[in-house]
Amino acid sequence: MAKKRRSSNKTSSARRVVRSSRTSKTVKKAGKSVAVPKAQGLDRFKPKHVWAVLTSKKALKIYGISLAVFVLLVAGLFLWFAKDLPSPNKINSRVSAQTTKIYDRTGENLLIEVYGDKNRSIIEFDQMPKCIKDATVALEDKDFYNQGAFSPKGIARAFTGVVFKDPSRGGGSTITQQYVKNALLSNERTVQRKVKELILSIQMEQLYKKDDILKLYLNEIPYGSTAYGIQAASKQYFGIDAKDLSLSQCVTLASLPQAPTYYSPYGSNKDDLLVKKDRVLDLMVEQGYIQKEEAESAKSVDVLSQLKPYNPYANVQAPHFVQYVREKLEEKYGIKRVNEGGFKVISTIDLPKQKIAEQVVKDNIASVRRFGGSNAALVSADPNTAQVLSMVGSYDTADPDFGSFNVSASLRQPGSSIKPLVYANLFKKNWGAGSTIYDVKTDFGGTPAYVPENFTDRFYGVQSIRSSLASSLNIPAVKALYIGGIPEFIGTAKDMGITTYNRSTDNYGLSTALGAAEVRMVDMANAFSVFPAEGKHRDPVYWLKITDSSGKVVEDNSKEDSNKPKQVLDPQIAYQINSIMSDNNARCSLGVFPCRNPLTISGQTAAAKTGTSEDFRDAWTVGYTKKVVTVVWAGNNDNKPMTQSASIVSAPIWNQYMTQVTKNEPNEQFNRPSGIKDQTIDANTGKSLIQGSRTRTDIFPSWYRIEQARDAQKATIDIVSGKLATDCTPAGARKEITGSLITAEINTTDPSYSRWNPPVQTLARTLGYSQGGSIPSEKDDVHQCGDPQPVVSLSASPNTGSTFTVTANTTAGKFPISQVEFYMDGNLIATQGGGGPTFSTTITPSAGGHTFSAKVIDSGYYTATSNSVNVTATGSGGANLNCSGSNCNFSYTIGAFTAQLYVGGVPFGSAVNSSPSNWNIAPTSWNGVSGGGSNVKIIYSSSSGAQTIYP
């Protein structure tokens, strides 16, 4: 029992120890609780507590594990991607490049063979001029000699560009990376390729010195066409060895590798090349390679004049087309893959049509030159597939000045050829082919005011949209753009395929309706395809199929669903444009175009529109059938003006090409959508018919709702202000008008209404629609009821005599004196205007008493009447009439004036012209005068005015 008790004591003791320990901890915890403030949670975020947590053993352990995992992952990724990479040690043992071949649409006719490193000459680093090394580093990688294989910022941009599929976030690759990409990898934009690029770049930096890497780069990089490496480029462009390049030549060549096709010195973007060349010189100054004076001297050199004559198309079919296709392929697949990847490209070119296009352009170039032009171009496409069928960028690729220039891909002003797109946008609103529009001289606002004129310098008054577009009237087109909306038009044009309207809509004005904004021929062909395609748009197609060197299909556009269309216009809109532009009667209805013109194709339903830019600088013709759309341009590459318009210069080329390519095709009419309706409207007002209307019947879309004509309204206006008369408007300024049924095409609340409506009202009056114009909505604000009035006082001298001088003295009120009227015996005898304040007139009245008065009128039409002045005239002339029964005799004497006898209101005999002396007329008798002497009147006229002297 004692042992047990002892054991029990031990147990109790152990329990007491545990309790004691727990109690101690509880006390300590309680003590801490007493010491900690109530905001215990916030206290944990004090810097000393946070730092304690971050530097704790547990945190450091986590860091170590994370770092180890990250290192292992990176190493794993490195090993995974590195296992399939080529060795930088064997860069000179790479597989030879395979050429890319471009064929016509049949796949049987080779158009061009694109070579890879066929034209490459390897040179040593010391044979490369310092200027090409400095220019390349300054442009491509300014930190090349001071950083490793890659730029962290550049890598970040590139990765986000891949992730977000945004090419603008790319760039920033070092020269080492660019060499690796061009020499050892493809140009695909993927994360995997970027990782491989980084790995190889790091290996390159470990194996080679910076100068060696730059040498490899300058021997490898493509400079355009078949020139790879700086030696081949020097020979190709300047005909000299690289070591002999000047500074201006160096910076020009250094500008090419980023986009060698686009910046080609023989291409259509020479101006952009020169801008970039000057930018490279500025960079070299900023980075200390050259002095500012050297840069300015190099900028002044005409480096393009030093170019070696070069025709890269000597043995190429459809040369401008294949060059354009090559550029598009490089944009999509990268330069290296296109030049060395062994692609087989089946293009969309229709070689028979291409040869027709080339021949027609060449045959007509003499005519173009006769009218002051020097070049012509043509693009043709299938509107149902958007496949380009033929392309002639310049009339002859062998021309030393501009043979290689591809006008079809360059920016030119389209003139009136853009109008169908303007009206297509208008038709989205309550307008149709038959709607009325007024071709009158119109101020469209702006500073200075924009007041366009027609090509003929005439205005054609009331017109339909059909006649306005067919006859290419300018004022209706500008109105159509305004009403349809400029932002809406820009959106419509973009939807249809115009890619050059890429600025803010604020940058486009109303002159865009007349072709002020530049476009490309290839875009116009694509946009006009929407009309015969019943409002459907497809992206332009330049190749049907691409396979790689192993025969694997890279891209296939030959299938029917490969280029799915997007409905960008309602079919009813497209049909209205088709109907108008194929209507030759409408085209020649105003005499702007002759009825026999080159815009019609024998045996074919063809729609066409010409366009001539300002000063005849560009002559366009755009037209189509259901199966082919063709765009022709003629002019001068340097923008010099010609002497004739498009209908003379470019339309014959269009006609000849279209005639030949459609001669074996059946005639197909444009499909009329079910919603199109025939509507009869009042031709003059554009509204519903009223009695006596001149009618017009034409096609309209299903959503068109005719505006109801309203009854003509009457109102009294103030002729001074042109506004509604008020109680304060003087009687002389009040005029009753009948509101015209013809008004401007826009709402009265539109800010342009006050400019548009006056010429429309002038037109309305010539048509007999209005007595005074449209009814104004504002009230007379010129006259107030308390306005000061004019005052007039009258005097006559002498009081008695044969001839009197009557004088009126005036005082102006609110407005200047406009005129004074003199009266004798209540009859107006003289009127004098302006001047003042004193007015006078002289008169010789008949014998007897007379009363003179005067009335003053100011420019506000306020009036005042003078006092009356009585005089007695001794008379220098008179008349006596004696009648007995039905017989009357009269005699009179007059001064220097003409007298006429009236009987029964009808002149009797001839007027009598007197001499200065008194003239006695022998008594004359007549019979049958009804009413006797009361029906006889003698009236004379003199310098003092007309006056009745009898009775």
User: Hey, where are the domains in the chain?
Assistant: 47-84, 121-311, 356-662, 710-775, 791-873, 878-950
Tokens 């039409």 -> residue = 861
Inter-CA distances, 398 with 401, 494, 655, 873, Å: 9, 35, 25, 101
CB neighbours of residue 230 within 10 Å: 31
- What is the reported pLDDT for 227? 84
Q: Which of 165, 150, 167, 149 is nearest to 258 (CA)?
A: 167
Cα–Cα distance for residue pair 939/15, rounded to 1 Å: 155
Q: Which of the four CATH numbers 3.40.50.150, 1.20.1260.10, 1.10.3810.10, 3.20.10.10 does domain 121-311 have?
A: 1.10.3810.10
Distance, in Å, from the CA atom of 827 to the CA atom of 840, rounded to the nearest integer, reads 16
How far apart CA 916 and CA 100 sit, in angstroms, is 110
Residue with the two structure tokens 């501009």: 402
Q: What span, in angstroms and rounded, lies between the C-alpha atoms of 712 and 714?
A: 7
Closest C-alpha among 430, 432, 431, 417 to residue 498:
417
Looking at residue 148, its pLDDT comes to 64
Q: What secondary structure letter does DSSP report for 541? A: B
What residues are paired with 931 via a beta bridge?
none
Amino acid letter, residue 6: R
CB 622 within 8 A of CB 611: yes
Are 580 and 711 within 8 A, CB to CB? no
Q: Does pTM surpass 0.75? A: no
Collapsed DSSP state (helix, strand, coil) of residue 640: coil
User: What token pair was written down for 915?
Assistant: 């001499």
Could you identify the residue written with the tokens 């360059």? 410
Residue 74 phi, psi (nearest 5): -60, -45
- CATH superfamily name and code, 791-873: Immunoglobulins (2.60.40.10)
Q: Are 916 and 895 in contact (CB under 8 A)?
A: yes
CA distance 394 to 411: 14
HEC sequence for 741-766: CCCCCCCCCCCCHHHHHHHHHHHHHH
DSSP H stretches of helix in 715-852: 753-766
What number of CA atoms fall less than 13 Å from residue 4's CA on the CB side?
1
Helix (H, G, I), strand (E, B) or coil at 643: coil
Give the chain's residues under pLDDT 50. Answer: 1-39, 81-83, 85, 93, 95-96, 117, 162-171, 877-880, 882-897, 914-936, 940-947, 949-951
Please check whether residue 844 is in contact with residue 803, taking contact to mean a CB–CB distance below 8 angstroms. Answer: yes
271, 410 in Cβ contact below 8 A? Answer: no
Tell me how far the alpha carbon of residue 818 is from its chain's centroid: 49
- H or E stretch including 375? strand 375-382
Q: Measured between alpha carbons, how far is 449 from 452 in angstroms, rounded to an integer?
A: 9
CA angle in degrees (0–180, nearest 5) for 801-803-804: 90
H-helix or E-strand spanning residue 333? helix 319-333
Q: Is 485 left (phi over 0), alpha (psi -120 to 50) or beta?
A: left
CB atoms within 10 A of CB 565: 16
The Cα–Cα gap between 635 and 373 comes to: 5
Summary count for the chain: helices (H), strands (E): 26, 36
CB atoms within 10 A of CB 615: 11
Query: Which position has the token pair 């062994």?
Result: 342
Q: What are phi and psi of 528, to 5 degrees?
A: -70, -20
Which ranges of 334-403 would DSSP assign to H, the alpha helix? 335-340, 351-370
**Domain 356-662 = CATH 3.40.1160.10:** no
| CB-count exposure of residue 33 (10 Å: 0-12, 13-18, 19+) | exposed
Cβ burial, residue 65 (10 Å; 0-12/13-18/19+)? exposed
Strand segments, DSSP code E, in 221-364 are 227-228, 344-347
Q: Residue 685: what are its φ and ψ, rounded to 5°?
A: -95, -20
- Position 67 scores a pLDDT of 74
CB–CB of 501/490 below 8 Å?
yes
Distance CA 202, CA 936 (A): 126
Buried b / exposed e over 631-654, threshold 16 CB at 10 Å, is bbbbbbbeeeebebbbbbbbbbbb
